[in-house]
Amino acid sequence: MSIIIKNKETLIFDEFVFKCCIGKKGFTKNKVEGDLKTPVGNFNLGNLYFRSDRKKKPLTNLKLIKISNKMGWCNDIKSEKNYNKPINTNSKLRHEKLFRNDYKYDFILPIKYNWKKTKINKGSAIFIHLTKEYKPTAGCIGVSEKDFLILIKLIKKNTKIKIL
């Protein structure tokens, strides 16, 4: 069974329909780093990352990784080795900070876009993460915390996401 992103405000899994938000500039088949677009396609999901200093361990079948204050996600187009991978923020590489001051990354579920044979500048750090006001994202998918917690109870490690 797959999670389906039907349009810019609807995420469907099984009989559940959740409100969501996507990239500020909509969907794209030709993602470029920093274009504010959500990539279209069928993708696997990664491990669930969470802020254990703010949130209790969620109920899920997914592998859990605690977010530490030194964790980042490389978006540096000059680093073939680390691009679109988790890194230590002490690195000199450009990165998306995972240990944020706001709530958005209290839970994140990486979408395995541009994952196995990573191509530089084709987009990185595409996540399902939290939102409160459903404002457009930089390319991720945002859902409310309540809906996120329901979703991660239902999905399994082999669940895919289909972004139409």
Q: What's the pLDDT tens digit per position in 135-147?
A: 999 999 999 999 9
Q: What is the mean pLDDT of the chain?
A: 97
Determine contact, residues 115/84, Cβ cutoff 8 Å.
Answer: yes
Q: Which region among 89-93, 100-104, 108-112 has the lowest average model confidence (pLDDT)? A: 89-93
Give Cβ neighbours of residue 82 (< 8 Å, ≥ 6 apart). Answer: 74, 76, 91, 93
Residue 160 has pLDDT above 90, yes or no: yes
* Per-residue tokens: 94: 């450009």
Which pTM does this prediction carry? 0.97
Q: Which CATH number fits domain 2-163: 2.40.440, 2.60.40, 1.20.1530, 1.10.3470?
A: 2.40.440
Residue 5 has pLDDT above 90, yes or no: yes
Q: Which 3 state secondary structure label does DSSP give 147?
A: helix
Q: What is the pLDDT of residue 149?
A: 98
Query: Token match 């969501």: residue?
Result: 20
Q: What is the pLDDT of residue 91?
A: 86
Q: What's the pLDDT tens digit per position in 11-56?
A: 999 999 999 999 999 999 999 999 999 999 999 999 999 999 999 9
Q: What's the pLDDT tens digit per position in 80-100?
A: 999 999 999 988 999 999 999
